[in-house]
Structure 1
Amino acid sequence: MRICVIGSSKKFFSGISAYTIVMANAFAEQGHQVSVVLLRNLVPLFLYPGRERVGKGEYIMDFRPDVTVYNGMDWNAPASWFKARRFLARQNPEVIIMHWWTSSVVHMQLVLAACRRLNGLRSKLILEMHEVVDTLEEKILPIRVYSRVGGRALLRGCDGYTAHSEEARQAMIRTYQLAEDKIDVIPHGPYEIYGTPDRGLARKEMDLDGFTVLCFGLIRQYKGVSLLVRAFNTIPPGYAANMHLVIAGEDWGDDTELRPELERSPYRDRIIFRPEFIPDERVPKLFAASDVVALPYLRTCGSGVIHIAVAQGKPVITADLDTMSECLQDYGGARFFPAGNVDALRDRLLEAYHNWVVNGVQTYQFTGMSWEAIVKKYEDIIEEMDQRQLG
């Protein structure tokens, strides 16, 4: 099939950027003719929390040579929208898979959705929902209204939708009143692109000793990073002296409790805090150096970090949210605790520590859905759409 994927560019590099690249490459590897439209400049730069690193190009992943890329559309440049329309007309995709993660780009996505009719295309439009409603956008009234109005307008123009979990699917139904039979669940695909660096060299480079807990990814309030620090602070001193907590990721500043928790920590010298964008080449080193990955989310519709961790075979400690339980249900290295419970999280950390003391470094087999299976699932969904149209 001719498939077009629409997602975020590498200029504002994020998990969606990585996912767009990996998905496009996966479809191409299975023999499809793939094109990509990238949303390049997403918002006015002064509004973006990570503006210092925008456009620096600190990534190693890229599209396959046989993937045709338009890079890209800018939030304030209608000329770039017109060029995207011409690109779509030339590619004439049978299916468009558009990623939704923020309402800030909905005006560009509405233009692309309208291009199907303006160009006379018969493309099916599938919206893959990475986030139902962004928590930060929900807190600001004008953005919340814009998000709901723009989001519903976009969703009305789609032929189908995908979610990464049943929990996210139900949230989509409640929030947008979508028909249940038009939403399919397709798990988040694994990130197997990083490889596995030498553990010893990675730990030496980071000056690590003892048991190492990694919390990786964008720092947001809903990800519970301050909760993890509180749990680490309550570990008995004899254990903490042989442990490190590494927190690495871009800090968007809405977790206002995090820095006070760090400042009052009795184990501040055992906490490595790197509130910065982590270049692609450093990501696998962080995971190789760690003994367990802790992701104490308070809510989530899915996590790309989880899929880096399981692809690396790392033990994972995370909250017992439905989405996390669903995506890790067959993964032997997953340990859960009640969301928001500091004492339970501390106990899980201590259990992981004792397991490390007794058994050494643990690795587990990835059991989730492969990208080949994800592509097949999309093929089945598209075939069902064809049959409904014929019927």
Structure 2
Amino acid sequence: MNSIDSLSLPSDYGKYDDDVMVVGPGARFLSGIGYHTASMVNAFAKCGHSVSALLIRDLCPRWLYPGRDRIGNHGIDVLRLAEVPISESLDWYWGPSILRSIAFLRSRRPRVVILQWWTAVTAHTYLLLALLGRLQGASVVIEMHEITDVGEASIPFVSAYAKGMMRLIARLTNGVVVHSNTDIGTMQTAYPTLAQLPVSVVFPGPLKHSEHREHVTSTVEGGGTGSEITRFLFFGIIRSYKGIDELAAAFTSLVDDGEAVHLTVAGEAWADAEAALSVIRKVESRHYRIVSGYIPDEEVTQLFESTDIVVAPYRRASASGPVNLTMEAGLPLVTTRVPALEEACRDYRGVLFAAVEDPDDLRAVMKRAMGMVGSRFHNPHGWDANATEYFEFFDRLMTRDIDSSDLTASRTT
């Protein structure tokens, strides 16, 4: 029995106005998960569902955030949300913001509240929202976009705090969405209290950056030399766990061997990436470009239009925005044999896999991928199909006479 069953429920329990309310980050602390949240909201609205969005405005104290210099640089318009009810009012420190958020939840009365999980910073707020949602008769679903943040996992206190809070949240949760079958085991190991809940696997669809693009010729003349250069792209937050160290070694080896290659590294660099970026900077400047900081939408489009091959050599991952963007663009992709990424890309014919944390194998696979330049490939994932999968799962959660074994069925591809 969930703890909600022992509470006194209001007389209008179970009466709904919205089909679903999505809770996730807004534009102030802009990141890939914000674009994922916006894409989900838009997909639900496009399919005719009544949907609202409750967005986090202040995620954490500014001084704790690695990308603190760009906090607040963008308004909510950057997310290009559909014309749906929106409240960008959640703050980690609560105060008046939590009252506005509670009022928004009460006014929208969603049938389902879906909470985007990627950091323990949201745990105390999600606990309250889960409780209030259940009191209004809503089903509460946690979407594990990032099961454990790499940085947080290394801090014993934060890890213990997340596990403790999740034990409480799980008692108010009806189901969990993950992005790969591999993530089910990872989630259950990290948060055992979620192990008995119904689970659905929904691979992420393309992010907003990739809409309304036109493909261009993928090879360009290089630097006035008259020879064609193969242009590689590493895109997104630049961190060690995303394989930037292996890429630096593999790429410089290609350059040393006289290959006509160019690498663009574009994104927000964290401290653990500086050593790899220094290695890349040692090659001749005509072979590389480093674009530091947040990349606006229009520049993301330009990056992918002027790229031949995307390289995403993760050491670990649950999902990947750059991989999704690559598949939507139809470009050749070099990534690593991380189980979740192998799942996500198994129906994408433009992918080549390298061994994890192996710069020599990465170099060899990048060389093989150069033979795929100019080809375009079909994206096996899309938001229309995803929206259907979400709502089929929501409906199963609301139907109490279905056998519990059916509720735990994962997505079939």
Aligned to 1:375: 387
Question: Matches of 1:367 and 1:77 in 2, distance apart?
Answer: 41
SS at match of 1:234: helix
Aligned to 2:199: 183
In the alignment, does 2:272 pair up with 1:254? Answer: yes
The 5-angstrom pairing of residues 1-391 of structure 1 reads: 2-57=19-74, 60-65=78-83, 67-117=84-134, 120-177=135-192, 178-179=194-195, 182-191=198-207, 193-197=210-214, 199=216, 210-235=229-254, 237=256, 239-240=258-259, 242-255=260-273, 257-263=275-281, 265-356=282-373, 361-368=374-381, 370-388=382-400
Question: Matches of 1:151 and 1:274 in 2, distance apart?
Answer: 38
Question: Matches of 1:113 and 1:367 in 2, distance apart?
Answer: 33
Question: Matches of 2:88 and 2:184 in 1, distance apart?
Answer: 30
Cα contact 2:396–2:402 (8 A) shared by 1 = no
Deviation at 1:256, TM superposition (A): 5.1
Question: Matches of 2:168 and 2:219 in 1, distance apart?
Answer: 48
Tell me the amino acid that sits aligned with residue 188 of structure 1: P
State the Cα deviation string for residues 168-216 of structure 1 (Å, max 9, x = none): 1111112212335611111111236433256479979x99962100000
State the Cα deviation string for residues 67-97 of structure 1 (Å, max 9, x = none): 1001111112321111111111110000111
Give the CA RMSD over aligned residues.
Answer: 2.4
Tell me the amino acid that sits aligned with residue 387 of structure 1: T
State the Cα deviation string for residues 140-169 of structure 1 (Å, max 9, x = none): 232222222223322332110010001111
Cα contact 2:237–2:270 (8 A) shared by 1 = yes
Cα contact 1:9–1:72 (8 A) shared by 2 = no
CA distance 1:198–1:166, change in 2 (3 Å): closer
Question: Matches of 1:239 and 1:288 in 2, distance apart?
Answer: 25
Q: Which of 81-90 and 135-144 deviates more? A: 135-144
Cα contact 1:296–1:319 (8 A) shared by 2 = yes
Question: Matches of 1:271 and 1:232 in 2, distance apart?
Answer: 10
State the Cα deviation string for residues 208-255 of structure 1 (Å, max 9, x = none): 962100000011221011110111111154543x21111101112133
CA distance 1:238–1:221, change in 2 (3 Å): closer
TM-score (norm 2): 0.86
Question: Matches of 1:60 and 1:239 in 2, distance apart?
Answer: 41
TM-score (norm 1): 0.91
Tell me the amino acid that sits aligned with residue 272 of structure 2: D
CA distance 1:362–1:325, change in 2 (3 Å): same
Question: Matches of 2:220 and 2:277 in 1, distance apart?
Answer: 25
Question: Matches of 1:260 and 1:123 in 2, distance apart?
Answer: 51
Aligned to 2:406: none
Question: Matches of 2:245 and 2:167 in 1, distance apart?
Answer: 34
SS at match of 2:399: helix
CA distance 1:188–1:333, change in 2 (3 Å): same
CA distance 1:343–1:166, change in 2 (3 Å): same
Tell me the amino acid that sits aligned with residue 276 of structure 2: L
Q: Once the two structures are aligned, what percentage of the paired residues are identical?
A: 29
Question: Matches of 2:148 and 2:215 in 1, distance apart?
Answer: 39
Question: Matches of 1:26 and 1:354 in 2, distance apart?
Answer: 36
Question: Matches of 2:271 and 2:64 in 1, distance apart?
Answer: 13
SS at match of 1:299: coil
Deviation at 1:64, TM superposition (A): 1.1
SS at match of 2:279: helix
Cα contact 1:230–1:342 (8 A) shared by 2 = yes
Question: Matches of 1:364 and 1:332 in 2, distance apart?
Answer: 6
